[in-house]
A and B are shown apart, each in its own frame.
Chain A
Amino acid sequence: MKKQSAIIFTSVALLALLVAPHFLKSYGVYLLTYWLVFILAAMGLNLTVGYAGQKSLGHAAFFGIGAYTVAIMMKAGFSFWLGLPAAAAICFVTGILVGFPALRVQTIYLAFATLGFNTAAWLVMRNEEQYTGGTFGINNIARPELFGLSLDGALAYYYFTLGVTIVFGLLLFGLLRSPWGKAFTALRDNPIRAESLGVDVRNYTLLSFAIGAVYAGVAGALFASLVQFIDPAPFGVGQSIMMYLMVVIGGPGYFFGPVVGAAVGVVLPEWLRFAQDWYLFVFGSAVVLLMIWLPDGLLSIPDRIRARRESREASAARAAAVTAAAANAGKGSGA
C-alpha cells in the first residue's frame, strides 16, 4: 500500500515536472532549472549528512570546484562532456581528502573542519586570478550540446538538467538500497556498534564524503552552464549553510528530503517576493517556525500523522479495554 502510493506519487510528480515548463515563461523555467541544480547538490549532502550522519558544512566548496572545473576547461576549449566527468572525478578525490578529518573528529568539530575547508577553497577561487578570474569571475560559459542537439535554449537545458537529476537520483536510490546504504545508516546511528558489526568505518566515512562531493560537483557543473557566469560568491560558507538548511528542512535521511528542502531554499524566497522589502525577513522567520514545528523536516509529516494515528488507536484501544474491564468489574460486583 505504502509502496504503491509512493510510486503513484512519484509518477505524478515526474509528469508534472515534464509538463510544467510549457506553461511557464522563461523566468519560471529558469527557476525550475535552478531548483533542480540545488536538488542534485542537496541529494549529495543528504547522503553525507542525512544517511551517513557526517556533519558537513563545506558542501558549497565541492559545488564550486565542479563549477570552476567545467568553466575553466570549457574556456580552455575542452568539451562540456569532458569537463563534467573531470569535475566529478576531482570532487571525488577532494571528497576523500576532506573525509579524513571525519575519521578523527565528529559532530560539531567536523562541521568546523569542513567549514574551514570551504573558506580555504573560496580563498583560492578568489585569489588565483590567472585560473579562476578572481573576483571578476568567468563570463560567457557556453551550454553543452547533446548528440548534435544544442542545449542552449531554456527549455532544452531544463530537460537536460531534469534528466541528469533523475539519473543521479536513481543511482542514489540504488546505492541506498544496497548493502552500502545499510552501512551508511549504521555509521550514522551508532558508529561504535557499526564497527563491531564489521562495517569498515574508515572506508564508508570517506565514501560518504566522496560520493556526496560528486553530486555537488555535477550540480556545480550544471550551475556554471545555467547561469553562464561564475564568481566566487555563490561558493562560500554562506551557501554551504544554505545547503545544510535545505537538507535539514526537507528531512535528513528522507530520500525526497532534498527535493522539498531545495524548494524551500530556492523557490520559497522567490515566491515570497510579493512581501516586497519584507521577503527575506519572512523567509528567515518561516525557517525558524518550520524547524520548531517539524524538527525532523517537512517529510516527517506522514510519519508524524501515522504516529499520531497509532497513538490515537492505541489510546482508543486502551480506553476500550478500560471500559471493558470496568464493565466486567461491574458485572463481577453485581453478581
Chain B
Amino acid sequence: MKKLILALALGALVITPAVAQQTIKIANIVELSGPGTTSGTNFKDGVMLAIKEINAAGGILGKQIESTTNDTQSNPGVAKGLTQKAIDQEVFAVFGPVFSGSIMVSMAETRRAEVPNFTGGEAASITQQGNPYVFRTSFTQATAMPKIARYITDQAKVKTLALIYVNNDFGKGGREMLMKALDKSPTKIVADISTDSGQVDFSAAVLKAKQSNADALFVYTNEEESARALRELRKQGWTKPVIGETVLTSQKVIELAGDAANGAVAHVGLTIDAPLPAIRAFRAKFEKEYKYICDHNGLKGYSGVYALKAAIEKVGKLDRKAVAKAMHTLKVKAADQPGILMDVEFDANGDLDRDSFLTEVKNGKQVITATLPPLGKKK
C-alpha cells in the first residue's frame, strides 16, 4: 500500500523537460477554492486573458507564453508546495497568490530561487520585507488608505468616524493602515466594529455604528458582506455618508445590494468602471471571454502580465535577475504598452503608484467623481 502511495506521490511530480527558453513559462498560483475563491478566480482570468492576447500578438521578444494554473485552496501550506513545484519546473515568473498569508510563504520561495513574483495581495507588510523579487499589481493598503483618509478629513470634513471591518488579514490590514493615516488628523475613530467573513446578519454591527453617533461610516469588508452591510444600513435608516475602499462601490456590490448601494463613496485604485477607453475595451473583452464582469482582481492580473512584458522588453532578454532589477523603478506608459491600462510606476520596494479615483454609486452605477494623482506627486 505504502509503495502504491509513493508511486502516486511520484506520479504527482511529472517532470517536465526544460524547454530551452523556447517559451516563457508562467505559473498561476491562486486561490480557486476556499475563502479566497472569488479573488483568485478573477486574478487568474485576468492573467490568462493577457497571456492569450500577448501570444496572439506574437508573444514577448517573439516567444510564446506558456502557463500553468494551480489552486492553493486558500491555504499557505499548499501555496508553499505549489511555489516549489513551479520553481522545480523552472518557470520564469509566478503570478499570485492573492491572500497575504499565502504570498508571505510563496515569496520566500521565489526569493530563494530568484523568480519574479507578482502578487494581488494588498497588505502593506508584503513589500516591507526587503524582498527584491516581489511586485505588486495594485496599490498597497499603505498607499490607498492615506488617499481615502485625505478625502475623509479634508473633503468630507468628517470629525468622527465609525469603522466596520472584516476580521481577516485583508480587513485587519486595511483597518491598521487607515488608523495610522488618520492618526494625526482631526478625524477620530469612535467605533471599531469587527465582523466575520461570511457574516449574514449585520444588524448588531450597524446598530453599534449608529449608537456611536459618528459623522460617517467606513465599511471595509469583502463584496458579499459589503452588500449585506449596505442593505442593513438602509434598513436601519442610516443617512450619513458611507465610505469605503475599492470594494464598497464595486460592480459586484452594486449588483448584490441593489438600491441600498446608492450614495456609497469609495476610493478605487483600479476600477472596471474607469472612464478610460482602454479599461472599457478590457471590460468588454473580459466579459466576452468569461461571461461575467471582472472586479479589480481581474484588472490586477491582466495589467500585471503587461508589466512583466514591459520589463522583459526593457531588458531585452529572458534573464530573471535582470528583469527583477528592471521592475524596480520601472515606468510604463499606457501609450507605449496599452495592456498596462494606466500609466504606472514601480518603486524600489516593488510597490506601485498611479492615478486613482474617487467613486460614488449613483442610480445603481459607479460614477467617478474625482481623479486622484499618485501619492508621491503631492509630496
Q: Do chains A and B make direct contact within the complex (CB under 8 angstroms)?
A: yes
The answer to the question of B318 belonging to the interface, with a C-beta cut-off of 8 Å to chain A, is no
Q: Are A26 and B2 in contact (CB under 8 A)?
A: no
A35-93 contacts to B, CB under 8 A, are 35
Report A302 CB to chain B, min CB distance, Å: 9
**Cα–Cα, bound, A13→B87 (Å):** 29
The residues of A that contact B168 with a CB separation of less than 8 Å are 135
Report A13 CB to chain B, min CB distance, Å: 4
**Cα–Cα, bound, A9→B2 (Å):** 9
**Cα–Cα, bound, A138→B117 (Å):** 21
Other-chain residue from B5, B84, B104, B171 in contact with A30 (beta carbon distance below 8 A): B84
A227-283 contacts to B, CB under 8 A, are 227-231, 233-234, 256, 259-260, 263, 267-268, 270-271, 273-274, 276-277, 279-280
Q: Are A137 and B172 in contact (CB under 8 A)?
A: no
Q: Are B9 and A28 in contact (CB under 8 A)?
A: yes
The answer to the question of A293 belonging to the interface, with a C-beta cut-off of 8 Å to chain B, is no
Other-chain residue from B1, B9, B70, B125 in contact with A136 (beta carbon distance below 8 A): B125
A290-313 contacts to B, CB under 8 A, are 298-299
Interface residues of B (CB under 8 A from A): 1-3, 5-6, 8-15, 32-33, 69-71, 73-77, 80-82, 84-85, 87-88, 100-101, 104-105, 108, 123, 125, 167-169, 171-173
**Cα–Cα, bound, A136→B173 (Å):** 8
Interface residues of A (CB under 8 A from B): 9, 12-13, 16-17, 20, 23-28, 30-32, 34-35, 126-127, 129, 134-137, 139-140, 154, 223, 226-231, 233-234, 256, 259-260, 263, 267-268, 270-271, 273-274, 276-277, 279-280, 298-299
Other-chain residue from B82, B104, B167 in contact with A139 (beta carbon distance below 8 A): B104
Q: Are B33 and A273 in contact (CB under 8 A)?
A: no
- Contacts A25-B15, A136-B173, A273-B70; is A260 near B5 (CB within 8 Å)? yes
Q: Are B1 and A299 in contact (CB under 8 A)?
A: yes
**Cα–Cα, bound, A279→B73 (Å):** 11
- Contacts A26-B87, A136-B172, A234-B77; is A228 near B108 (CB within 8 Å)? yes
Report B53 CB to chain A, min CB distance, Å: 22
Other-chain residue from A17, A25, A154, A279 in contact with B13 (beta carbon distance below 8 A): A25
The residues of B that contact A228 with a CB separation of less than 8 Å are 80, 105, 108
Q: Are A263 and B8 in contact (CB under 8 A)?
A: yes
Q: Are A34 and B77 in contact (CB under 8 A)?
A: yes
Interface contact tally, CB-CB below 8 A: 130
The residues of A that contact B171 with a CB separation of less than 8 Å are 135
Q: Are B74 and A233 in contact (CB under 8 A)?
A: yes
Q: Are B76 and A260 in contact (CB under 8 A)?
A: no
Q: Are A24 and B13 in contact (CB under 8 A)?
A: yes
**Cα–Cα, bound, A32→B15 (Å):** 16
In the complex, which residue of chain B has the Cβ closest to the Cβ of A129?
B172
- Contacts A35-B9, A231-B76; is A135 near B172 (CB within 8 Å)? yes
**Cα–Cα, bound, A16→B8 (Å):** 13
Q: Are B77 and A227 in contact (CB under 8 A)?
A: yes
Q: Are B1 and A256 in contact (CB under 8 A)?
A: yes
**Cα–Cα, bound, A35→B11 (Å):** 15
Q: Are B12 and A267 in contact (CB under 8 A)?
A: yes
Most buried by B among A24, A136, A223: A136
The residues of B that contact A25 with a CB separation of less than 8 Å are 13, 15, 84-85, 88
The residues of B that contact A137 with a CB separation of less than 8 Å are 76, 101, 104, 169
Closest 4 CB pairs of A and B: A27-B85, A13-B2, A25-B88, A263-B5
**Cα–Cα, bound, A229→B76 (Å):** 8
Report A299 CB to chain B, min CB distance, Å: 7
Q: Are B2 and A16 in contact (CB under 8 A)?
A: yes
Q: Are B1 and A26 in contact (CB under 8 A)?
A: no
The residues of B that contact A134 with a CB separation of less than 8 Å are 172
Q: Are A270 and B101 in contact (CB under 8 A)?
A: no
**Cα–Cα, bound, A41→B183 (Å):** 45
**Cα–Cα, bound, A136→B103 (Å):** 12
The residues of B that contact A23 with a CB separation of less than 8 Å are 10
Q: Are B8 and A30 in contact (CB under 8 A)?
A: no
In the complex, which residue of chain A has the Cβ closest to the Cβ of B166?
A135
The residues of A that contact B76 with a CB separation of less than 8 Å are 137, 227, 229-231, 233-234
The residues of A that contact B5 with a CB separation of less than 8 Å are 259-260, 263, 267
**Cα–Cα, bound, A271→B13 (Å):** 8
Q: Are A279 and B71 in contact (CB under 8 A)?
A: yes
In the complex, which residue of chain B has the Cβ closest to the Cβ of A12?
B3
Report B361 CB to chain A, min CB distance, Å: 28
Q: Are B12 and A31 in contact (CB under 8 A)?
A: yes
- Contacts A16-B2, A260-B5; is A28 near B172 (CB within 8 Å)? no
